[in-house]
Amino acid sequence: MRDNNGHGTHCAGIAAASGGNGIGITGANPDALIMPLTALQSDGTGDVATIIKAIDYAAANGADIISMSFGGYNDSQAEREALGKAYSKAVLVAAAGNDNLCIYPHLCPENKIIGATMFPGAYNFVLGVEASKNAEGKIADFSNFDEDGPMTSTFSENDLFNYELRAPGTTIVSTFPGGQYLPMNGTSMATPLVAGAISRLLQVRTPSSKEELFGDLINTSHGNIDINAAAALTDADRKPSLALVTYRIDDAKMGDGDGRPDAGETIRIYPKFRNHWGVAKNVKYSIRLAETEDPEIVSFIDEGDAHVIDNISSYATVEAGNPFVVKISPDCVDGRHICMVLTATCDNISAPLEQEIMLTAENGVELGGVIGEDMTLTPDKNYIVTSSLAIPAGRHALLNIGDGTLTSLVLSDAQGHNFRLEAGSGAGISSAMAEQTAPQRVRGIYNLMGVKIANDASELKRLPRGISSSTVRKL
């Protein structure tokens, strides 16, 4: 097999270059065997379809660890499914990326630019690897990063994305085509270092599960991965470590069933826990109002169910079967933040979990769906837009926001393009469209393109569609 780029040869040497021969370098595990697979083109780019073929081949042909020094910012369902199958046979390790971006698609705390999630490194069944720049594990300036660490994720409960580990990734000397040894930088270099170290660990002991292995590696890391500390662990060292992943609100029985807390509703809160290490037995959980919260804003209803989970295995996620039942005051104002504190403990835990839950209660008239006829919003009511409002193509409708009405609307056309209309005091569509030559009755949302609201309190703007690309590149 010929390496027409050099990136793969460099990564392979980091993981498993032979040692003790007086030549070049020694890999993280010189006893490891390399299964070289070419999935990218000579310029270092490729596509998901070819990547999937390589993943399938590696898993089917006995790879114990699949090291992936590539990635992209598109979440491919096909790639996710292929890796999910491979996870049953191999440990998956992948690079976090080299763009100095946080994992969340929001304003990053370090560099004040919008972050993005690197795949496949972010999947929760893949060990995502950041790059460090020194032995203490300080993150490299170029490395993507997980700002809230490997054990917390505020993504949806089905997408608990994280980068879990860190390893040196700056000026890493390794093998290169033509008998050369060259230094390179990147999370691509940190990834095979982790993969090689894990292969060495698997030579000396066999973890009871990949989830236990993940817990061992994460909980013994102090900056960089510490494979020796992970190898020295015993069962007694593995203490449970509980985290609240998310919670689900059910208001179907005594509410409107929209899954959001409204004034006057009785809601059921189902917490979802994740255990990051040793088996958590006899998990007990409770909830209370924060110390400074108004005691009249909610009341807790005891339905006689014990808030106990028998056990949560290592690195597993479990939703509680018995919810907290909470009655919200009917006098609660719209947008009121209600601060509660959840606690959880279990046998043999080092430190109990104590975490805030912040509910935002709603109190108003809910709007959403298709506008099929003329509608007028008036200032004597509070309006809450719960989903996009759409004016179907080929139909006429007038949405009039009366003077003094405060609201924020998102409208969409039949093609799924979204537009946000923010209307403030004294600004309605009828007055806003006075500057247009088109009639005030609109046919489809495209007729609203370019509307200029008369005052500065309101504007119409097209929302970004997000990144959509199947391109994968080396890291």
DSSP 463: P
**Predicted local confidence at residue 451, as pLDDT:** 27
The amino acid that residue 178 corresponds to is G
β-bridge mates for residue 442, sequence order: 397
Q: Please, which pLDDT band fits residue 404 given cuts at 50, 70 and 90?
A: low
Q: Give the per-residue pLDDT at 443.
A: 25
Distances (CA, A) of 380 to 36, 336, 362: 69, 19, 16
Pairwise CA distance, residues 447 & 440, whole Å: 10
Average pLDDT for residues 225-252, to the nearest whole number? 92
Confidence of residue 398 (pLDDT cuts 50, 70, 90): low
| Local structure of residue 138 (DSSP, 8 states) | P
The per-residue pLDDT for range 321-375, each reduced to its tens digit, is 999 999 999 999 988 999 999 999 999 998 999 999 999 998 887 777 777 777 7
Residue 433 corresponds to which tokens in the numbers above? Answer: 């469209």
Query: Can you read off the two tokens belonging to residue 37?
Result: 């697979």
Q: Which of the two residues, 223 and 402, has the higher pLDDT score?
A: 223
pLDDT of residue 356: 92
User: Using 50, 70 and 90 to split pLDDT, how confident is the model at 315?
Assistant: confident
Mean pLDDT of 107-130: 90
Its sign, for the CA torsion 427, 430, 433, 434, is negative
Provide, rounded to the nearest whole percent, the portion of the chain with pLDDT above 90. Answer: 58
Query: How confident is the prediction for the chain on average, in pLDDT?
Result: 82
Q: Tell which phi-psi region holds residue 264, choosing left (phi > 0), alpha (psi between -120 and 50) or beta.
A: left
Of 399, 336, 401, nearest to 364 (Cα)?
A: 336
Q: Which DSSP string do the residues of 165-214 spell out, in sequence order? A: EEEE-SSEEEEETTTEEEEE-SHHHHHHHHHHHHHHHHHH---S-HHHHH
What pLDDT score does 202 carry? 95
pLDDT of residue 83: 97
Q: Per-residue pLDDT for 62 more than 50? A: yes
More confidently predicted of 41 and 426: 41
Look at 116 and 428; give whichever has higher pLDDT: 116
**Four-residue CA torsion sign, 137, 141, 146, 149:** positive
What residues form DSSP beta bridges with 232?
none
pLDDT at 10: 95
CB atoms near residue 422 (< 10 Å): 16
| pLDDT tens, residue by residue, 147-169 | 988 888 878 777 889 999 999 99
Q: Indicate the pTM of the whole model.
A: 0.73
For the segment 216-222, the average pLDDT, to the nearest whole number, is 93
pLDDT over threshold 70, residue 133: yes
**pLDDT confidence of residue 419:** 46
Q: Which pLDDT band holds residue 107 (cuts at 50, 70, 90)?
A: confident
What Cα–Cα distance (Å) separates residue 390 from each residue in 137, 263, 303, 434, 437? 51, 27, 42, 22, 22
Q: How far apart are CA 16 and CA 39, in angstroms?
A: 20
Task: DSSP for 215-279, please give it.
Answer: HHHHHT-BSB--HHHHHT--GGG----EEEEEEEEEEEEES-SSSS-BTT-EEEEEEEEEE-SS-
Give percent above pLDDT 70 in the chain. Answer: 80
Number of C-beta neighbours around residue 356 at 10 A: 10
Can you tell me whether residue 435 is helix, strand or coil? helix
Higher pLDDT, 436 or 412: 412
pLDDT at 85 over 90: yes
DSSP 379: T
DSSP 337: E
Q: How buried is 77 (Cβ within 10 angstroms: 0-12 exposed, 13-18 middle, 19+ buried)?
A: exposed
